[in-house]
Amino acid sequence: MNEKEHCMSRAGCLECQKECALAGGEECSLGEECGVFGMYDLDGNNVSSSIYYGLFSLQHRGQESCGIAVSRTDGPPRNSKTYKGMGLVNEVFHPEALDKLEGDIGVGHVRYSTAGASIAENTQPLVLNYIKGTLLLAHNGNLVNAVELRNRLEMKGAIFQTTIDSEVIAYLIAVERIAVGTVEDAVKNAMQKIKGAYSLVVASPRKLIGARDPHGFRPLCIGKRDNAYIFASETCALDTIGATFVRDVEPGEIVTITTEGIQSDISMRADKPARCIFEYIYFARPDSYFDGISVHSSRITAGRILAQTYPVEADIVVGVPESGNAAAMGFSLESGIPYGTAFVKNSYVGRTFIKPKQSARESSVMVKLNALREAVRGKRVVMVDDSIVRGTTSARIVKMLRDAGALQVHVRISSPPFRYPCYFGTDVPSSDQLIAYNHSEEEICKMLGADSLGYLPLERLGELLDGDEGYCDACFTKNYPVAPPKEDIRGEYEN
């Protein structure tokens, strides 16, 4: 996870990002998406504390901002309470704030902006007061037609308070709700107009709704604890609050929770799903499951494939923390080369890290990671990471291993080469910023200073999902499941 950098000139890249310290602030890690969480306690119990802990478990999906919005289903139509701010979950929330968030239905959000400004106004959840009451909305994903829809709504007099495409979705739902009988029908009508990736959690005065785009780019699951229902981006959030996993929300499905139970509408489902393959490779916590597939097992499989495809004589296999570790274990299991720990990670370097001066930037990778000399000195090392974007940070880590005494460094990457940008919520930059777009693997190997280099073969990518072909690999192939925008507008509107 140490090489997914993007330029500081892009508004979505801040030195306060989780891994930004690794490259000194100028180049930071690939964005971790966003995380959504919603809960409705049918017995009327307060849900804010559970939402807080759910967001805490989803912190890896976004560290820029977070928020919780709740209301009472037995109260007046407009009784919502909201608390949100810039920073990590445990920084933004305190006991006094949670005590004031009294409600039996609510939604929460942790945010990483894949583009656009990282400002307080863009924090989620969004709260809309309109003629039918209040809508609370949290969104993970990116729309490819956000600009077009926004311009059309503004021409009709709409006034936007943010620069995020989530507000476009919320506005469309509110407009549609006036013309139809239920909020779930309004969500469905809005889904017929928006294009791209989205997992939504929407709370109306009396209902909690979870919806996933027709291709299922972004994950969303359903959980239950006692007489409360939960929507969450990952199953690990259910485990954190002691909830039982019920099932995944299907691609194109709208799930409505009411006092009468669960209702489902799958009429929006596309012919073929296109789940983001990088959720399995990097984004998700390893203890999560998506669509019945273990993230940890997927990464073990990736490592096994690398060992089969690019065998090498070596003394130790190491992973670059954190998402490279499981793939390294898989490589070790398949090759018989011992698995070891070669890096010490400073877990206390987070959003408050102060960017070093330009003159110190070359050594800034050591602020986040340091090599264990005893583990690698005099050894041939296989270094496993999940991806390479520009190459500069990977080169620094290779040098770090050599400086620690490694005789050889063989780099193995548990994904195919990044060659094309993503428009569906993953912060993959433009092609001209991707090292694999303009360089061969041999050239990249030389640029990294490695003894050898091997990427996960594209044709074996489906094995990470037990042979299921319903995934999106556009960042590797340019085969976009949904037509991308004619121009790259990721710097203007985002999730």
Phi and psi at 411, nearest 5°, equal -95, 130
Angle (deg, nearest 10), helices 392-403 and 441-448: 50
Strands 380-385, 408-413: pairing kind: parallel
Instruction: Give the number of residues written for the chain.
Output: 495
Q: Is position 16 annotated as part of the catalytic site?
A: no
C-alpha 212/C-alpha 209 separation (Å) is 10
C-alpha 301/C-alpha 99 separation (Å) is 45
Q: Among the options 16, 20, 34, 221, which is catalytic?
A: 34
C-alpha 17/C-alpha 28 separation (Å) is 7
Listed in sequence order, the DSSP H helices in 266-323 are 277-278, 295-309
Scanning the structure block, which residue is given the tokens 């195919």?
416
Question: Under a CB-based contact definition with an 8 Å cutoff, are residues 87 and 66 in contact?
Answer: yes
C-alpha 12/C-alpha 267 separation (Å) is 34
- Going from the C-alpha of 212 to that of each of 138, 145, 151, 200, 264, the distances in angstroms are 12, 17, 24, 6, 12
Question: And the tokens for 117?
Answer: 């400004």
Please state, as a whole number, how many other Cβ atoms lie within 10 Å of the Cβ of residue 244: 12
At 132 the three-state DSSP class reads: coil
C-alpha 440/C-alpha 418 separation (Å) is 12
* CA 445 from centroid of its chain's CA atoms: 28
Q: Which residues are catalytic?
A: 34
